[in-house]
Amino acid sequence: MSAQPLNGRRVLVIGGALSDLAKGPLDGAILELGGLDRLIGVGLADADLIIIDADAWGGPALAAGIQALALCPAPPPVLMVGTHLPTAVVRNLLRIERSDVLDAPYSHENIAAAIEALLASKPANPVVAPTGDVARCWAVTGAVGGSGATTIAIEIATELCNRSDKDKSVCLIDLNLADGSAAAYLGSSPAMRLGDLGRSVDKLDVAMLQAFITPVTKQLDLLAATRDPLAFDSVPAESILRMLEVACDTYEWVVIDMPRHRRAWTVQALSGCDEILVTSELTVPALLAARSLSDEIERDISSGKKPRIVLNRLAGRMFGPAPSMAEAERALQRKAEAGISSDWEAAAASVNLGGPIATHRPKSKIVKDVQVLVRRLAAEPALRDGKASRAA
Ligand SMILES: Nc1ncnc2c1ncn2[C@@H]1O[C@H](COP(=O)(O)OP(=O)(O)OP(=O)(O)O)[C@@H](O)[C@H]1O
Ligand SMILES: [Mg+2]
């Protein structure tokens, strides 16, 4: 084993008896001692390696702990050591990617070799870090509540997946930290732990980001947090901006479901976006709000990008000579970028079934309208200069 490979690495030791390894194979590591409950939701933000002392726990408790570990989206590598290990527990452990077992008798050298092999192994399905290119990043924000920002962000992300042949090409990020609905609309479980995100600004890298990700399809990853009324106050702006930066270094496309109310990080995040879409309904208050919000964004961001207004839930009559559309544009004092048809049945069916409208109602006009929008925006040149401003 090379000299002190664990120097400065965080090792979570489950079962205190193993702390005597600190002077041997764990030399130089930052040790955290924990119980089996520490395995619930554990990820790379918590530890670089987990070592479990199987002898410290009864069979049923150990089995439950391993099961909890197996449910984690991206657990750290794990080594279990013990005497007469229960076969069922061992089999469950070995189903976890990057895991190993040592049954007694074993030496410190055996442990050191197992640790070295675990740390050297890469996850089979890592977040793809594409070639140093920076993602194209589009943000969607609503002029008024309920105007369809989340729906349109999801459909845009889905259409971008259709246009790419790479796995893990698109990341949808729900920055409505307090009460985002993207995960619920997609029928997925949010995996971003805001406490860990807040603490890990210096350490956040591609591997750690993976611990926060919910894979939705082979191509689409979701970054979303569980509801937390205090989230906007508890997560520092630097952490959000760092997360966006890492996501943009990792994916081909990043789509942000952006909260309507301004946060400490809003202007910097929007300054780094290639496109900013403001969704509005066709009501006078919504159109006036869309105009004000677009003006504010344009005034404050550094990229000089003009937000584009997307009129959502257009009823059939809007597709004629469209006096209402003309009136809308008069109220907006600018042209609308696109219109998205109204289709309540398709929108409701997809959220109730969990998944994009493009999956559950692929013939919906919403899907076609989003395709047209994405095709047009994707043909625009990417914003390159703005990327630097995303960094904290
Ligand atoms: N084009 C559409 N046709 C019919 N229904 C739609 C359409 N777009 C969105 N909806 C529905 O409108 C409701 C609000 O949409 P959504 O949650 O996407 O809006 P939002 O702007 O993200 O809301 P919030 O302000 O709560 O974040 C949802 O029930 C959604 O299914
Ligand atoms: Mg929303």
Instruction: Dump pLDDT digits (tens) for 207-243.
Output: 889 889 999 999 999 999 999 999 999 999 999 999 9
Q: Where do the domains of the chain lie, and which CATH numbers do they carry? A: 10-120 (3.40.50.2300), 136-390 (3.40.50.300)
Mean per-residue pLDDT, 243-261: 95
| Among the ranges given (11-20, 62-71, 122-131, 322-331), the one the predictor scored with the smallest mean pLDDT | 122-131
Q: How far is the CA of 181 from the centre of ligand 2 (A)?
A: 6
Pocket test for ligand 1, best of 151, 158, 278, 281 (most atoms within 8 A of CB): 151
132 CB near ligand 1 (under 6 Å): no
Cα separations in angstroms, 267 against 184, 270, 303, 318: 27, 5, 10, 34
- Decide which of 130 and 236 is more confident: 236
273 CB near ligand 1 (under 6 Å): no
- Decide which of 16 and 209 is more confident: 209
CA-nearest residue for atom 12, ligand 1, is 148
Residues 6+ apart with CB under 8 A from 321: none
Q: How far is the CA of 162 from the centre of ligand 1 (A)?
A: 22
State the residue for tokens 């600004």.
Answer: 201
Confidence (pLDDT) at 4: 61
Q: Could you tell me the pLDDT band of residue 316, with boundaries at 50, 70 and 90?
A: low
188 CB near ligand 1 (under 6 Å): no
Q: Could you tell me the pLDDT band of residue 390, with boundaries at 50, 70 and 90?
A: very low
Confidence (pLDDT) at 380: 82
Q: Could you tell me the pLDDT band of residue 388, with boundaries at 50, 70 and 90?
A: very low
60 CB near ligand 1 (under 6 Å): no
CA-nearest residue for atom 9, ligand 1, is 148
Q: How far is the CA of 309 from the centre of ligand 1 (A)?
A: 15
Confidence (pLDDT) at 391: 36
Closest CA to 32 of 7, 48, 90: 48
Query: Taking the chain, what is the end-to-end CA distance rounded to the nearest angstrom?
Result: 38
Is it the case that residue 386 has pLDDT exceeding 60?
no
CA-nearest residue for atom 26, ligand 1, is 146
- Kindly state the helix (H) or strand (E) to which residue 60 belongs, with its residue range: helix 59-70
Instruction: Dump pLDDT digits (tens) for 54-106.
Output: 999 888 889 888 888 887 767 899 999 999 888 888 888 988 889 999 998 88
Q: What is the pTM of this model?
A: 0.71
Q: How far is the CA of 197 from the centre of ligand 2 (A)?
A: 21
Confidence (pLDDT) at 88: 84
What mean pLDDT is reported for the chain? 87
Q: How far is the CA of 156 from the centre of ligand 2 (A)?
A: 14
CA-nearest residue for atom 31, ligand 1, is 347
Q: How far is the CA of 240 from the centre of ligand 2 (A)?
A: 18
Neighbouring-strand partners of residue 225:
192
Q: How far is the CA of 261 from the centre of ligand 2 (A)?
A: 12
b/e map of 98-136 (b: 16 or more CB within 10 Å)? bbbbbeeeeeeeebbbbbeebeeeeeeeebebeeeebbb
Is it the case that residue 190 has pLDDT exceeding 80?
yes
- Contact, 272 vs 247, CB < 8 A? no
Pocket test for ligand 1, best of 150, 175, 319, 340 (most atoms within 8 A of CB): 150
216 CB near ligand 1 (under 6 Å): no
Is it the case that residue 204 has pLDDT exceeding 60?
yes
Dist CA 231 CA 88 (whole Å) = 40
Is it the case that residue 183 has pLDDT exceeding 80?
yes
Q: How far is the CA of 146 from the centre of ligand 2 (A)?
A: 7
- Contact, 48 vs 74, CB < 8 A? no
Confidence (pLDDT) at 326: 80
CA-nearest residue for atom 30, ligand 1, is 347
- Contact, 170 vs 219, CB < 8 A? yes
Closest CA to 127 of 31, 181, 191: 191
Dist CA 277 CA 257 (whole Å) = 10
Confidence (pLDDT) at 87: 87
Residues flanking ion ligand 2, Cβ below 5 Å: 149-150
Q: How far is the CA of 256 from the centre of ligand 2 (A)?
A: 11
Dist CA 137 CA 243 (whole Å) = 13
Mean per-residue pLDDT, 358-369: 97
Please state, for a pLDDT cut of 90, what percent of the chain lies above it.
Answer: 58
Q: Is the dihedral of CA 130, 131, 134, 136 positive or negative?
A: negative
Confidence (pLDDT) at 264: 94
Dist CA 265 CA 386 (whole Å) = 15
Strand order in the sheet with 338-341: 213-215, 220-223, 170-174, 253-258, 136-142, 275-280, 308-314, 338-341
Mean per-residue pLDDT, 286-306: 93
Ligand nearest to the CA of 185: 1
CA-nearest residue for atom 25, ligand 1, is 145
Confidence (pLDDT) at 229: 93
